[in-house]
């Protein structure tokens, strides 16, 4: 199932704008799991949009800026206009996601660093909610709805793998795109040149130097061999576009 098909399937339940928003927030979480760019995920926006979705389902309209905590803690389970699967289970799962977002440094700096287990939980929770929305929209069994969500993108976690401190990019791509994906997985941190060479060990040193030079010339990468290299904002956007192409192919 591609993005547009999921949006079309959800539009009858929550309207086209919310269907598009919640799908894109879900894909952002899924993409960040794949690239291990933990701090870039947007679980808060996903949960906020979910609240808008269930408001729309219940009353045919939604708040532009909903009070997420108040709605999930005080009002959701009392809203008899919602199907039970959304009213009880989905709302409680969304509440746990919002707690994780606020208390586990997913959204901002704090005492606890985000880690892959936090984001893995958020991804699975978001997947369940998307499957329940799909079930409510289409009337298919939960197992079938879950399979539809799984088909939305290639399995998360397969694009970048870390082994003994070395990150490997699992994609048949050019040196340029492999560099973008690698640097994206570390964003916004600098990556030492030795780490880049370890990841791209099958590439020639001259090819790596040349592509880094090209990316610097395009202002997609910033740095040097002494401090390491990182993506610029434009570089991050370009990397995300390339990752999306790979996941949609």
* Domain span holding position 210: 160-248
Alpha-carbon dihedral angle through residues 79, 63, 67, 152, given to the nearest 10 degrees: 80
Phi-psi region of 219 (alpha: psi -120 to 50; beta: other; left: phi over 0): left
Domain assignment present for residue 207? The answer is yes
Q: Could you list the mean pLDDT of each consecutive 10-residue stretch along the chain, which spans 249 residues?
A: 78 95 89 66 89 96 95 92 92 93 58 65 92 86 73 58 84 93 85 94 94 97 96 88 77
Alpha helices in 104-150 (DSSP H): 116-138, 142-150
Domain assignment present for residue 124? The answer is yes
Give the domain-ending residue among 150, 176, 210: 150
State how far the Cα of 54 lies from the Cα of 76, in Å rounded to an integer.
8
In a shared domain, residues 111 and 175 = no
- Whether pTM > 0.75 for this model: the answer is no
State how far the Cα of 38 lies from the Cα of 106, in Å rounded to an integer.
7
pLDDT at 155: 46
* Nearest in space to 44 (alpha carbons), one of 93, 89, 101, 90: 101
In a shared domain, residues 106 and 225 = no
State how far the Cα of 14 lies from the Cα of 62, in Å rounded to an integer.
10
Domain assignment present for residue 142? The answer is yes
């Amino acid at each position: 199932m591609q993005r547009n098909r999921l949006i079309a399937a959800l539009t009858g339940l929550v309207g086209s704008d919310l269907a598009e928003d919640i799908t894109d927030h879900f894909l952002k979480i899924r993409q960040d799991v794949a690239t291990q760019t933990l701090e870039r995920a947007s679980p808060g926006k996903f949960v906020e949009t979910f609240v808008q979705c269930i408001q729309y389902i219940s009353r045919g309209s939604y708040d532009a800026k909903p009070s997420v905590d108040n709605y999930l803690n005080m009002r959701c389970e009392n809203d008899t206009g919602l199907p039970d699967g959304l009213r009880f289970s989905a709302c409680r799962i969304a509440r746990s996601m919002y707690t994780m977002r606020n208390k586990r440094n997913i959204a901002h700096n704090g005492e606890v660093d985000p880690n892959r287990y936090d984001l893995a939980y958020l991804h699975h929770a978001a997947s369940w909610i998307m499957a329940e929305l799909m079930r409510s929209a289409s009337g298919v069994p939960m197992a079938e709805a879950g399979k539809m969500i799984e088909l939305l993108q290639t399995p998360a976690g397969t694009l970048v793998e870390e082994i003994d401190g070395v990150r490997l990019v699992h994609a048949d791509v050019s040196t340029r795109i492999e560099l973008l994906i690698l640097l994206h997985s570390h964003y916004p941190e600098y990556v030492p040149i030795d780490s880049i060479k370890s990841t791209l060990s099958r590439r020639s040193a001259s090819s790596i130097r040349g592509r880094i030079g090209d990316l610097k010339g395009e202002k997609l990468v910033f740095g040097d061999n002494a401090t390491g290299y990182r993506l610029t904002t434009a570089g991050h956007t370009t990397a995300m576009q390339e990752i999306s192409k790979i996941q949609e192919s």
